[in-house]
Amino acid sequence: MIDAAIAELTAVLGSVRAACTAAGRPQANHYRRHRQSPKPEREPRVRKPQPRALSQAERDSVRALLNHPEHVDKAPATVYHELLDEGAYLASVSTMYRILREHGEVRERRAQATHPARVKPELVATGPNTVWSWDITKLHGPAKWQYFYLYVIIDIYSRYAVGWLLADRESSILAEKLLADTIVKQHVDRDELTIHADNGSSMASKPVAFLLADLGVTRSHSRPHTSNDNPYSEAHFKTLKYRPGFPDRFDTIEAARAFCRDFFTWYNTAHRHSGIAWHTPHNVHHGHAGTVHAVRAEVLTAAYQRHPERFVRKHPEPATLPEAAWINPPAENQADQQIHSKNP
């Protein structure tokens, strides 16, 4: 409406400015409004071929040369200068790159080996000596960059340290000896045990692999860069190094062995572990957990009978030992199984 009024006033007054003043609209707004008409569409630009460009046959020849087995693993700049040394010139380096880019070949042009994704290990232990986890950790020695190497084997069901060894080096021969001695000491039969480890040099060594194959033990390894695949050993080393009295450095390997002997005696026989219903690893590993559970239940029952009013919700019961221990439980079992991997 106001646009029509301004148009009529402009015809009468002979000036857009006078018409805008009479209509009460700023002159700039009027011009801005009428200058917003859509711009005419441009005709699509047709690119003309560069008269100096290579012909299609020449481009095909350059591409075939770059992908030839003799040159496929070389950069275009290298091929260019080799051709110059041989007295030949086909195209500039930038043109070679341009030709390769058109075909998506500005990359490694050789056939690359592809490795399948590592399978996530899924292991379950429903009793002692069915799944072991082992690893090696460093203990600081008396000087900088000097270490002692602690080898530890853990039963993931009972959390019992079934074997350990402290040495001044990491060696597959020492690992082989520790595993062999521990398997004999624990009276493990063939085809009953799975041993899980990460991908360290000692864990993946041929002597260890041959030993386990000879003894009928199944091997399992973590995925690369996935510490959660070996949670029991990692948690055990944290318990060791956060133990009160753990020194920053050990002056001698004998001092380190003495500390480890005391630690493993405490860990196996006195440490109440939250992941195994606050039993000690020794009681669970050697089948005494049921007796301890019954004694705890009797104590709680007697306490309830003396003062039932102090137990408001229900009759007190001791914590129940988990039926299984998992390394990476399958997704469908996470809701059904009593999973205690958070407290390894």
Closest by CA position to 286, among listed 268, 267, 260: 268
Q: What was the pLDDT predicted at 153? A: 96
CA distance 18 to 21: 5
Confidence band for 35, pLDDT divided at 50, 70 and 90: low
Mean pLDDT calculated for residue range 122-138:
95
pLDDT more than 70, % of the chain: 93
Closest by CA position to 23, among listed 34, 36, 13, 33: 13
Is the model's pLDDT at 315 over the cut of 80? yes
Helix (H, G, I), strand (E, B) or coil at 188: coil
Is the model's pLDDT at 39 over the cut of 90? no
Mean pLDDT calculated for residue range 9-32:
80
Closest by CA position to 198, among listed 175, 224, 176: 224
Task: Enter the tokens of residue 335.
Answer: 């809701």
Confidence band for 133, pLDDT divided at 50, 70 and 90: very high
Task: Tell me the residue type at 226.
Answer: T
**Bridge partner list, 195:** 132, 219
Task: Enter the tokens of residue 56.
Answer: 């299609």
Confidence band for 337, pLDDT divided at 50, 70 and 90: very low
Task: Enter the tokens of residue 39.
Answer: 């711009």
CA of 123: how far to CAs of 87, 229, 330, in Å? 65, 10, 9
Q: What was the pLDDT predicted at 115? A: 75
With left for phi above 0 and alpha for psi between -120 and 50, is residue 87 left, alpha or beta? left
Between 300 and 40, where is the model more confident?
A: 300
Is the model's pLDDT at 249 over the cut of 70? yes
CA distance 94 to 87: 19
Mean pLDDT calculated for residue range 84-94:
92
Closest by CA position to 123, among listed 114, 133, 113, 115: 133
Is the model's pLDDT at 324 over the cut of 50? yes
Domains for the chain: give ranges and CATH numbers.
Answer: 2-32 (no CATH), 56-102 (no CATH), 131-344 (3.30.420.10)
CA distance 155 to 126: 11
Q: What was the pLDDT predicted at 280? A: 96
